[in-house]
Amino acid sequence: MFAGDTLGRDPTLKFLSTRIKGLHVGGKTALDWQGFRHNLSHRETICLSGDEKAVLPAWFLARFFARYSARSFFAPSLPGGFGLATLPEAPDGPLVSVPERALLEMLGEVGAHQEVAEARSIMETVHSLRAEELTVLLKNCRMIKVARLCVLWAEEFRLPWAGQAREAAKLGTGRWVKQLTNGSTLILKA
């Protein structure tokens, strides 16, 4: 970068992906970039995911409001790069989670960086997910919370793929209880 230049978001993300294994745009940001959103954000937080623990460089964070997570939502049996693609309007851009993967990544952030009410509202908009893609992801999903939220809210909103999601998801048994960062408690039944 030369003095006076401005870094572009997509080329910068693509550059970072050469430094951080598996870096991609995921979760709420990936859903937003593909038209699934609840409200417009005053200041967009770019949700980034990757395969290894890493710290985003200070020069990047000085220019872009972003958060990085190396949480592994999926079993190692899921083929590398499954559910990641460039956006059709930016074929030379960074990898972005397809809506099915992005939904599960967002649900994984519920209670930590993602508010429950907003996640529910976004979930209500995802009628057109591809059931086959979601089935593969749910079969490889390692987080009970993610699988249960996906299935329970899909059934509540009567989403067309809810039945296939229930068949594919590993829901476990009993109740799943978690104290959220805002002090409330999330209780999910199987």
CB atoms near residue 48 (< 10 Å): 26
Kind and range of the H or E element at 96?
strand 96-97
Q: Which of 188, 178, 116, 186 is nearest to 151 (CA)?
A: 188
Show me where the domains of the chain are located: 9-189
The pLDDT of residue 7 is: 87
Q: Which of 109, 103, 112 is nearest to 131 (CA)?
A: 103
Cα 47 to Cα 92: distance, rounded to the nearest angstrom: 19
pLDDT at 14 over 70: yes
The pLDDT of residue 73 is: 86
Q: Which of 12, 182, 35, 61 is nearest to 112 (CA)?
A: 182
**Three-state DSSP class for 11?**
helix
- The predicted model gives 120-134 an average pLDDT of 93
- The predicted model gives 39-64 an average pLDDT of 88
